[in-house]
Amino acid sequence: MRFPTISGASVAIGLAALAGAAVGGLVLAYPLTSLWGPAADTAQAPAELADFPFETADGKSISLKDFQGRAVLLNIWATWCPPCRKEMPSLDRLQSMRGGDDFEVVALSIDKAGVEKVKPFYDEIGIGLLKVYLDKPGASMQALRIVGLPTTLLIGEDGRELARWAGPREWDEPDTVAEIDALLKISRED
């Protein structure tokens, strides 16, 4: 049996194609927000959000409907997610800046170990203002059509989604706070 001869040029072209496919796959797998910074997705925001149950640190069952009348920045995260861990202090600072009767940052953990995992993490990094909210079964992921962590939704006082960001952010940066304020102002004028 005779094997065909492969030229050096053919090998080079094959390797270049393989490298291109690998890089293309990485670009698809790696969020572009990490290259240019995340932008809010407001064009495809649904009119109303699906409701799903989650828990407080003391085991009380609540849902997004319990926040009606307040604007909410809902952050879906987990302790095992490095970008989630990195952005948590900025979420706590945003709660310090804007939290009150009309706005709350809701950091909803999908950790299956629940409060036993989240509370020590909060203590470790000095989270002092964010409340512990738990979604141990991960119902939020399907209900809100979330495919990656962290994902953050801005929810208006009427319970409707105003914007969504995939990937981490520094939530207390002036540009980010201004973007949130502008989106909330527009929703209040509608």
Please state, for a pLDDT cut of 70, what percent of the chain lies above it.
76
Average pLDDT of the segment spanning 155-160 = 94
pLDDT tens across 78-122, in order? Answer: 999 999 999 999 999 999 999 999 999 999 999 999 999 999 999
Closest by Cα among 85, 114, 97, 99 to 172:
97
- CA 110 to chain centroid, in Å, comes to 12
Domain formed by 36-189, architecture: 3-Layer(aba) Sandwich (3.40)
Beta carbons of 68 and 159 less than 8 angstroms apart = yes
Instruction: Determine the pLDDT at residue 2.
Output: 57
